[in-house]
Chains A and B, each alone.
Chain A
Amino acid sequence: MRQINPDVCAAYPITPSTQVMEQFSEYVADGLVDTELIATESEHSAMSACIGAAAAGGRVMTATSSQGLALMWEMLYIAAGMRFPITLACVNRALSAPINIHGDHSDSMGARDSGWIQIYAENAQEAYDNQIQAVRIAEHMDVRLPVMSCMDGFITSHAIDSLELLDDKTVRDFVGEYKAINPLLDVEHPVTYGALDLQDYFMEHKRAQAEAMKNSRKIVIDIAKEYKKISGRGYEYFEEYYMDDAEIAIVILSSAAGTVKTVVEAMRAKGEKVGLLRPRIFRPFPYNELSDALSNVKAVAVMDRADSTGAEGGPLYMEFKSALYNRKKQPLMINKIFGLGGRDLMLPDIEMVYRELRDIKNSGKIRALSEYITVRGEEAAYGKA
């Protein structure tokens, strides 16, 4: 954020995103950035102030977590509908109740339909890289949509991790100068924002918004390629880990993928054809590319760090099932809900999932479509390692 030097930052600190604003306010106080920092009385006000500043014509950033994102809810849709390229660092944390400050994806998954682009980072390096790319994606003239850059609360946000920073000038040149569309501060050309839009035009505006999200599919890749040129680090819609000849695979978001990689390596060393698919871009959901990536796999476990109670499974699982519905080649698919409220996902837990997948591959039979793991009181059907 310091390197991006936004015009306005309106925020209300909440754990575990507090340090983002704490550190950033120091930069403001020390004069390292020119940003107008607005300390609001709530997250609803924070996002409202972001929207106002974006309407005025500023480059705007903010950060939040959990209940804070929930309190922004109403304004998230407005930011997207008004087509403001606001970027938000979402440090994922469980939603109450019961109250919990640790990481799961219930906050951002709840906002999946708000019209924001969502990017999920595996580690601190990627969180940094995504945040810089987010500005360019949001501000692209074919997109003009807000972007939520997500990372796991505490696991990623508070862990000590080494990362490579780009120098300030490189970042500033990369993000470039912000070009506002129809800014309110252009008093020579007065415009109205937020006018009533009824049966006669509302649907046309929503159609245009849907098109922008569609356009962003190409843009996220274009920006990633440009970013690779300055950083040497390349990003795609998703990361494939030993997927080329994988017969069974786990699909998982964010930091937990790091743990899965360890298991994949250990099992590969024993000759087991296991793989991992880690989606990075969740909105827009790259359904074609993700379906292609799973087309040769026999059995898949989509693992959700959030539940959608009453549905067949978690939100990530449902996206994958729907993406594969019209495909001729479909892997058998199960869902595991894990890690809610920051519950650890350990190596044996992952091995257990792979063992179950191996049985599904061999027998063609699914025991349970969706179930909780890493929870006490459930019988572990595949035992501990």
Chain B
Amino acid sequence: MKKKGWKELPIGGVILEAANTKKYSTGDWRTFRPVIDLDKCTNCMRCWIFCPDSAVCLVDGKVNHFDYEHCKGCGICAQECPDNVKAITMIEEAKAKEGK
């Protein structure tokens, strides 16, 4: 997305479009990314409820993957995943990007 110059912006930092935070990629703030082991996941949905960025994605009503465009890597999902399940691990973003 090409960023606008100062003459093109509405004054006062106002945002004219509703729900446009989707366009703001907060995923690049992330230091650790959550990775889920779907074999361990029991679909208790706690991660989905607690995620502050609505970045836990469902397929057919079941936890499936994370939206890495918006996940800031806060780790709440991994923390809230029940102790007897622990299906989510946080791994270093740099390592994840190297494909490890």
**Does A83 touch B at the CB level, under 8 Å?**
yes
Contact residues in A for B97 (Cβ distance below 8 Å): none
Report the minimal beta-carbon distance from A307 to chain B, rounded to whole angstroms. Answer: 34
Asked if B5 is an interface residue, CB under 8 A from chain A, the answer is yes
Binding-face segment, B11-19, B48-56, B69-77, B84-92: B11-19
Which B residues are CB-close (under 8 A) to A81?
12-13
How far apart sit A193 and B3, CA to CA, in the bound complex (Å)?
20
Is B4 on the interface with A (CB-CB < 8 A)?
A: yes
Q: Once A and B bind, how many residue pairs between them come within 8 Å at the CB atom?
A: 53
| Contact among B6, B7, B13 with A197 in the assembled complex (CB-CB below 8 Å) | B13
CA distance A207 to B9 in the complex (A): 11
State which of A27-35, A198-206, A228-236, A339-347 sits at the interface with chain B: A198-206
Asked if B9 contacts A181 (CB within 8 A), the reply is no
Which of the residues A84, A192, A204 comes within 8 Å of B5, measured between beta carbons? A204
**B10 on interface, CB distance cutoff 8 Å:** yes
- Interface residues on chain B, size class: 10 to 19
Give Cα A84 to B15, complex, Å.
Answer: 15
> Given A200-B3, A205-B6, A207-B6, is A212 in contact with B11 using a C-beta cutoff of 8 Å?
yes
Q: Are A205 and B12 in contact (CB under 8 A)?
A: yes
Determine if A163 is an interface residue (Cβ-Cβ < 8 Å): no
B9 CB, nearest partner CB in chain A, Å: 6
Closest to A203 in B: B6
Counting CB contacts under 8 A, is A38 at the interface?
Answer: no
Most chain A beta carbons < 10 A, residue from B4, B6, B12, B18: B12
- B14 to A182, Cβ gap below 8 A? yes
- A200, closest chain B residue (CB): B3
Contacts of A212 in B (CB 8 A): 11
Partner of B9, one of A192, A194, A204: A204
Specify the main secondary structure of chain A where it touches its partner: loop
Q: Judging by beta carbons under 8 Å apart, are A205 and B13 in contact? A: yes
Contacts of A144 in B (CB 8 A): 11-12
Are A191's CB and B16's CB within 8 A?
yes
Q: Nearest Cβ distance between residue B30 and chain A, in whole angstroms?
A: 16
* Residues B16 and A82 in contact, CB atoms below 8 Å apart: no
A184's nearest neighbour on chain B, judged by CB, is B14
| Contacting residues of chain A (168-195) with chain B, CB-CB under 8 angstroms | 181-182, 189-195
Residues of B within 8 A of A200 (CB): 3
Partner of B3, one of A83, A181, A201: A201
> Known: A182-B16, A191-B16, A201-B3. Is A83-B11 also a contact (CB below 8 A)?
yes
A93, B6: Cα distance in complex, Å: 37
Contacts of B12 in A (CB 8 A): 81-84, 144, 182, 193, 205
B18 x A82 contact (CB < 8 A): no
A246 to chain B, nearest CB (A): 42
A375 on the interface (CB 8 Å rule)?
no
The one of A83, A195, A204, A209 in contact with B15, judged by C-beta atoms closer than 8 angstroms, is A195
Of A192, A193, A204, which one neighbours B6 at CB under 8 angstroms? Answer: A204
Interface residues of A (CB under 8 A from B): 81-84, 144, 181-182, 189-195, 197, 200-201, 203-205, 207-209, 211-212
